[in-house]
């Protein structure tokens, strides 16, 4: 409709794909569970950021997404909030492995994502474990054994733990690749491909990237099914 078009125009959002839903311009219009909206209110946020407004309704439809947006645009909650809703719908046993898997390039980033998941998922009783290199495996393995709905991991460490057979990804049905361009620049493509082989094909996949070079387009074409593409601002190739 016209209001969707004017919101997109105003916020430099471009979309491609079939039947793109109207952006959620307010938190109330998201239909998120009240315990999540309470956390948003608590954080003092006044409105969804443009990437959130446009990707939330698409993600809630269960569709794959490629989102191209610069840092600081609110991508983390962009995928975490629909991930929380997905978890509520699945009601899997976290002892059997995570339902939501987020891959991120660095320890620092993975930790920030976990902090956001803990903060906004607390009242929904969502558990989250973070796996990254440059730290002993013991405490991370013990955390995993307690069960985690969400695992946030760097590809190298997750692959090590997979090879030790200390985690199962058979229950993952919501897969996020955050900062995909940086992960590829850091040489993580082989680990990412090995990890994705362990995740069932019947899943929702969301990929976030700041740039859109051919290496990223290639892995998106391999891992995503009929994705909706959402760009905020201009595209750097
Ligand atoms: P990106 O991953 O795009 O770089 P982040 O997800 O790290 O961005 O978000 C940047 C900051 O904006 C974080 O501190 C986050 O808590 C905050 N933020 C996220 N969504 C909103 C919102 N709707 N309103 C205000 N601040 C937000
Ligand atoms: Mg980010």
Q: Which two tokens stand for residue 141?
A: 């393995």
Distance separating alpha carbons of residues 57 and 132, to the nearest angstrom: 31
Taking the CA of residue 178 as reference, the ligand 1 atom at the shortest distance is: 2
Mean pLDDT computed over every residue of the chain = 96
- Of the pLDDT bands very low, low, confident and very high (cuts 50, 70, 90), residue 207 is very high
Interval 74-129: pLDDT, tens? 999 999 999 999 999 999 999 999 999 999 999 999 999 999 999 999 999 999 99
* pLDDT given at position 95: 94
Residue 168 has pLDDT above 80, yes or no: yes
Contacts of 58 (CB under 8 A, 6+ apart): 17, 20, 21, 65, 228, 230
- Of the pLDDT bands very low, low, confident and very high (cuts 50, 70, 90), residue 234 is confident
Residue 237 has pLDDT above 70, yes or no: no
- Strand 100-103 relative to strand 204-209, pairing: unpaired
Residue 167 has pLDDT above 80, yes or no: yes
What is the Å distance from ligand 2's center to 153 Cα?
A: 14
Q: Is 44 in the pocket of ligand 1 (CB under 6 A)?
A: no
Taking the CA of residue 48 as reference, the ligand 1 atom at the shortest distance is: 23
For tokens 């919501």, the residue is 174
Q: Whose CA is nearest to atom 23 of ligand 1?
A: 48
Q: Which two tokens stand for residue 130?
A: 């973070």
Compute, in degrees rounded to 10, the torsion defined by CA atoms 209, 210, 214, 220.
10
Residue 236 has pLDDT above 70, yes or no: no
What is the Å distance from ligand 1's center to 154 Cα?
A: 21
Distance separating alpha carbons of residues 140 and 80, to the nearest angstrom: 21
ipTM over 0.95: yes
Task: List phi, psi (to 5°) of 148.
Answer: -145, 130
Q: Is 45 in the pocket of ligand 1 (CB under 6 A)?
A: yes
Distances in whole angstroms, Cα of residue 183 to Cα of each of 60, 70, 108, 110: 26, 15, 13, 12
* pLDDT given at position 155: 98
């Amino acid at each position: 409709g016209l209001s969707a078009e004017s919101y997109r125009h105003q916020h430099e959002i471009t979309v491609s794909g079939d039947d793109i839903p109207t952006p959620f311009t307010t938190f109330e219009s998201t239909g998120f569970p009240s315990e999540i909206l309470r956390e948003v209110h608590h954080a003092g946020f006044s409105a969804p950021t443009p990437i959130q407004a446009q990707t939330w309704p698409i993600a809630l439809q269960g569709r794959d997404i490629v989102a191209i947006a610069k840092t600081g645009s609110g991508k983390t909650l962009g995928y975490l909030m629909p991930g929380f809703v997905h978890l509520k719908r699945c009601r899997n046993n976290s002892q059997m492995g995570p339902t939501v898997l987020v891959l991120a390039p660095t320890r620092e980033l993975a930790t920030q994502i976990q902090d956001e998941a803990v903060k906004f998922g607390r009242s929904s009783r969502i558990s989250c474990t973070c796996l990254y290199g440059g730290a002993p495996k013991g405490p991370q393995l013990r955390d995993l054994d307690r069960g985690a709905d969400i695992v946030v991991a760097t590809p190298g460490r997750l692959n090590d733990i997979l090879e030790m057979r200390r985690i199962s990804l058979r229950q993952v049905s919501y897969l996020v690749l955050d900062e995909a361009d940086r992960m590829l620049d850091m040489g993580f493509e082989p680990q990412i491909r090995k990890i994705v082989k362990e995740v069932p094909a019947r899943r929702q996949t969301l990929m976030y990237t700041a740039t859109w070079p051919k290496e990223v387009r290639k892995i998106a074409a391999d891992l995503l099914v009929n994705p909706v593409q959402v760009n905020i601002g201009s595209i750097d190739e």
